[in-house]
Amino acid sequence: MKGKVYLIGAGPGDSSLITVKGLKCIKNADVIVYDRLANDSLLEEARENCKFIYVGKEAKNHAKTQDEINEIIYREALDGNIVARLKGGDPYVFGRGGEEGEYLIKRDIPFETVPGVTSPIGGLAYAGIPITHRDYASSFHVITGHLKDENEELNWSSLAKLKGTLVFLMGVSNLKKICENLIENGKPEDTPVAIINWATTPYQRVVEGNLSNIYEKALEEKITPPSLIAVGEVVKLRKNLNFFDKKPLFGKIVVITRAKSQKKESVSQLKELGAITYEFPTIKIDEISPNLELDEAIENIDRYTYIVLTSKNGVDIFFNKMFSLGYDSRRLGGIKIGAIGPKTGKAIEKYGIKPDIIPNEYVAEALVEELKNVLNDKDRVLIPRAKSARPYLVEELSKLCKVDEVKIYDTLKEQCNPNELMEFLNDKEEIYFTFTSPSTFNNFVEILGDRSKDILSKGRIISIGPITSKTIKQNGYKVYSEAEKYTVDGIMDILLKEGEA
């Protein structure tokens, strides 16, 4: 059976500007064929085993010709696949989407178009420029600055007469010519112009000027594609309507070293605040399986008066195991539950149970203090937790009553590429390295080897709490700031303060 092709506009750059329908198609796709301008973080939304084909084009350096791209999409659909063809912005705005559609229709391949937020509208908006405004522009015109045939000229005299906003796409290399032609044909030299580079992404840069000086300014600022050239009075509104590059963490780089499975929430929060996140997971969570000791503990859960959980990972593994053995949360009915901190507590609540004990400070020491008030020698405590956890909690509680520690997961070193990180950070400033446990730091240093001194000296080290800070200092590094609450939110608070500074 033939598959189907969805020609999807991925939006101008910010991955959250994809439409609801576009996202649905990505989630359902067997194959995703994507361009350079489509934000590749959207690929994370694809289902497991989805095949990714990059057909990115860079000006003058086409990775794949249009004919090859047409053929790839066609062949994949012919094989019965649901193909998501992801393009930057809207697929029909200078995206050659029409050509791809025609190619498929001619070959009888079912296809649909999913429009997207196009960059001349969305990109200008993120620069604080409304493309129309009752007082300044009652039309807008989107024009290619890169003509198919270099000798083919745009009708400059008509363009120059237009009172609406002009937006040139693919125009950086012709910027001088665009300005000269508009002036020669009668547009006033002082008409405001803005160039917006990498619009809607945390790398967005905006250069403002007018028709007579914008070329020099863009040269000075070394503006490259992809950029939008906006010409018209609406550009002046930017000073009032700009919101995006005023975000508290705009342009700051945050390196995240937690496990892939743990970082999603913090990444999206940081992005929302304007930060550039670099994900460098140094640990991975590896459930110990089979785990007869855990099975046995759950089968004999009535032995216990308390269960103490010390991480979200531990909570998920524990409950999933209990469910897979055929029980539900009622199994824990008569047992008191302790959590080390609010995130662990929230994770427990998801399974329908409110923890009885959550200390104010989120370290084992504080949990021990709280438990000291309630435990006596008749109690028996189950602690399902990480293999590499500090012995402190178990040692201290064992002084009060019987304690069974069951190791349920291990944190292993993740494979990640130090060269890519080095290359990425090479020309960057305002870098923050965040560490959420001693193992994230130890692994980071191990993975980078000799280069870790160099790399870490480029930025500031943020630690989640005293135990992690101790490891960092023992390794000879300086902790720039330590979270007041020993949680990821505590790290976020530090970063927000940095943004205000």
Catalytic residue numbers, as ranges: 35, 57
If one asks whether residue 13 binds ligand SAH (CB under 6 A), the answer comes out as yes
- Please give the residue whose beta carbon sits closest to ligand SAH in the complex: 89
If one asks whether residue 126 binds ligand SAH (CB under 6 A), the answer comes out as no
Reading phi first (left if > 0) and then psi (alpha if -120 to 50, else beta), residue 93 is in: beta
Spatial neighbors of 501 by CB under 8 A, at least 6 apart, are none
If one asks whether residue 140 binds ligand SAH (CB under 6 A), the answer comes out as no
Give the range of 151-159, 183-191, 220-228, 305-313 binding ligand SAH by CB under 6 A: 220-228
Q: Which of residues 8, 69, 85, 90 is near ligand SAH by CB under 6 A? A: 90
Quote the least distance from Cβ 127 to ligand SAH, whole Å.
9
Peptide bond into 202 cis (omega under 30): no
Q: Which amino acid is at 336?
A: K
Quote the least distance from Cβ 457 to ligand SAH, whole Å.
32
Residue 143 or 488 with smaller CB distance to ligand SAH = 143
Quote the least distance from Cβ 169 to ligand SAH, whole Å.
4
* Residue found by looking up tokens 């547009």 in the block: 187
Tokens encoding 446: 């191990």
- The SS3 assignment for 65 reads coil
If one asks whether residue 113 binds ligand SAH (CB under 6 A), the answer comes out as no
If one asks whether residue 169 binds ligand SAH (CB under 6 A), the answer comes out as yes
If one asks whether residue 100 binds ligand SAH (CB under 6 A), the answer comes out as no
If one asks whether residue 119 binds ligand SAH (CB under 6 A), the answer comes out as yes
Quote the least distance from Cβ 311 to ligand SAH, whole Å.
39
Quote the least distance from Cβ 124 to ligand SAH, whole Å.
10
Q: Which of residues 50, 70, 81, 89 is near ligand SAH by CB under 6 A? A: 89
Look at residues 92, 125, 107, 112 and name the one whose alpha carbon lies nearest to residue 9. Answer: 92
Quote the least distance from Cβ 52 to ligand SAH, whole Å.
20
Tokens encoding 222: 């070394």
- The SS3 assignment for 494 reads helix
Residues 37-76: x/- map of binding to ligand SAH (CB under 6 A)? Answer: x---------------------------------------
If one asks whether residue 230 binds ligand SAH (CB under 6 A), the answer comes out as no
Identify the burial level of 480 via C-beta atoms within 10 angstroms of its C-beta, where 0-12 means exposed, 13-18 middle and 19 or more buried: middle
CA distance 470 to 214: 52
Q: Which of residues 25, 93, 294, 337 is near ligand SAH by CB under 6 A? A: 93
Cβ atoms 214, 227 nearer than 8 A? no
Give the range of 83-91, 255-263, 327-335, 397-405 binding ligand SAH by CB under 6 A: 83-91
Residue 149 or 450 with smaller CB distance to ligand SAH = 149
- DSSP H/E element including 157: helix 156-161
Q: Which of residues 164, 225, 251, 499 is near ligand SAH by CB under 6 A? A: 225
CA distances from residue 100 to 12, 71, 147, 238, 262 in whole angstroms, order as listed:
20, 9, 19, 36, 39
Residue 198 or 477 with smaller CB distance to ligand SAH = 198
If one asks whether residue 118 binds ligand SAH (CB under 6 A), the answer comes out as yes
# residues near ligand SAH by CB under 6 A: 23
Q: Which of residues 3, 209, 226, 359 is near ligand SAH by CB under 6 A? A: 226
The DSSP string of 162-201 is --SEEEEES-GGGHHHHHHHHHHTT--TT-EEEEEESTTS
- The SS3 assignment for 442 reads helix
C-alpha triplet 117, 99, 139: angle, nearest 5°: 40
Look at residues 364, 346, 365 and name the one whose alpha carbon lies nearest to residue 355. Answer: 346
Residues 192-211: x/- map of binding to ligand SAH (CB under 6 A)? Answer: ----x-xxx-----------
Quote the least distance from Cβ 197 to ligand SAH, whole Å.
6
Quote the least distance from Cβ 497 to ligand SAH, whole Å.
30
Identify the burial level of 186 via C-beta atoms within 10 angstroms of its C-beta, where 0-12 means exposed, 13-18 middle and 19 or more buried: exposed
Quote the least distance from Cβ 200 to ligand SAH, whole Å.
5
The CA radius of gyration of the chain, in Å to the nearest whole number, is 28
Residue 205 or 312 with smaller CB distance to ligand SAH = 205
Residue 119 or 469 with smaller CB distance to ligand SAH = 119
* Phi, psi dihedrals of residue 246, rounded to the nearest 5°: -95, 0
Q: Which amino acid is at 318?
A: F
Residue 167 or 462 with smaller CB distance to ligand SAH = 167
Query: Using CB under 6 A as the criterion, which residues of the chain lie in contact with ligand SAH when the complex forms?
Result: 12-13, 37, 87-90, 93-95, 118-119, 123, 169-170, 196, 198-200, 225-228
